[in-house]
Structures are given as structure tokens and as C-alpha cells.
Amino acid sequence: MKIFIDTANVAEIRDGVSIGIVDGVTTNPSLIAKEKRPFRPLVEEICSIVPGDVSLEVVATDFEGMVKEGEELSKIAKNVVVKCPLTKDGLRAVRHLSGKGIRVNQTLCFSATQALLSAKAGATYISPFLGRLDDISHVGMDLVRDIVEIYRNYGFTTQVLAASIRSPLHVVDAAKAGAHVATMPFAVLEQLMKHPLTDIGLKKFLDDWAKAGVKL
Ligand code: G3P
């Protein structure tokens, strides 16, 4: 499973990429707005840091506007994936942009029917929002499982990108469900690495080593 970080914060992205296990970045208008930096230099910097795909979202909601913005965004860097919302116009935009060789991440997916249509339209990634479904007492992970099954049944190449991830358990369950990608806040990525027994074990090894006075 690929690991993406869901942030537009350059410090977090540099930190994550330096570990060597971050495969890409997803952004959205809310995350970009949080950075309080001009859009173009910010996303150019992000694209230059990240080795893999960087999702940049359109803000137009009509077909023509999404296509125009998608074409502009796709020229920013080779690793840009255009993000379009899962609406009727968004599906048309995915069909149009993917037909021109522009890769699209279709976002704000909350149902299996939406995901089926997105794959038929030619999306490179589909982004089901797990946490936001959990927020309204639906099991977000069931949607990931349904999409993975449907895509497998028909050999769709659209990759399932588990989004709106809020905890390490979401990451484990997304991996078990067969999601191709999980995108998560930087804080969740840090949680994935940590275990109290690792810290306790390491301290004991180093204490024993120091007491014995052994040298490498
Ligand atoms: O990738 C989509 C994600 O940014 C949404 O996350 O936590 O705002 O629901 P959240």
C-alpha cells in the first residue's frame, strides 16, 4: 500500500519525505488555505519535494471551469494529479481530462455507486472519505471494502485512495481491505511509527550497554 500525506505544509512534507516512506501528497482547498501562502509558489515547492504524485484540487464546480483549472494545474509539474469533486460535472471533467492524458483523483466520494461511475469515467484515483462517514455513524471502511471488491470484479485500474483517515486503525483497516493508497495527516503518520514497548526496550538496551561499559 502506498502512503500519502494529506497536508500542504512544506515542513511536514520535507520531514515525511526524508524518512523515505512517503509516496505522495494529497491537498485540498482547506489544507492550502491553512498555509496562508500564495498558491502557485506553495504548490511548486511541494511538487519539487515529493518524489511521487501530488493531488491539487480544482475550485470550479462547472465542467468548463474544472477542465480549464485542471489543465492549468496539470502543467505545474509532471507529478501533479488533478483533483475533481464527485459531481455530475466532476465526472464529465474526469472523462475529458483523462482522455487528454491528465491524471485525476476524484474526491469527496461517499458511495459505491459514485466510485463505480468514477472508474468508468477514467479516474486514476478514487478518494472515499472514511472519517467523514464515521462522523455521521456510517462505517467508512465498508465503503472502501465495497469499492475494492467492485473494481476487482471488473478489472478497473482506478486506484482506491483511502482518505479522511483519522487514526492508525484506519490505516490498518484500509490495508486489510486492499486499498492501494492511504492518505493521512502527518500526525497519524508519526503515530504509525511509535510503540511504547519500542521506547522501553531501547532504553533498557542502552542502559545495560552503558552499565557494562562495552564499546562498539
Ligand atoms: O483527503 C481528504 C481529507 O483531507 C479529508 O480529511 O479529516 O478533513 O475529513 P478530513
Q: Is the CB of 27 under 6 A from ligand 1?
A: no
Whole-angstrom Cα distance, residue 167 to residue 135? Answer: 13
Helix 168-177 and helix 140-154, axial crossing angle in degrees, nearest 10: 20
Domain boundaries, position 202: 2-212
Tens-binned pLDDT, residue by residue, of the chain (216 aa):
999 999 999 999 999 999 999 999 999 999 999 999 999 999 999 999 999 999 999 999 999 999 999 999 999 999 999 999 999 999 999 999 999 999 999 999 999 999 999 999 999 999 999 999 999 999 999 999 999 999 999 999 999 999 999 999 999 999 999 999 999 999 999 999 999 999 999 999 999 999 999 999
Into how many domains does the chain fold? 1
Closest residue by Cα to atom 10, ligand 1, is 164
Bridge partners (DSSP) of residue 5 are 25, 184
Q: Is the CB of 131 under 6 A from ligand 1?
A: yes
Task: Kindly report the length of the chain.
Answer: 216
Q: What are 183's strand-pairing partners?
A: 4
- Decide: 69 in ligand 1 pocket, CB within 6 A: no
204 catalytic, yes or no? no
Among 83, 88, 211, 215, the active-site one is 83
pTM: 0.96
Nearest by Cα to 113 from 84, 88, 83? 88
CB atoms within 10 A of CB 85: 21
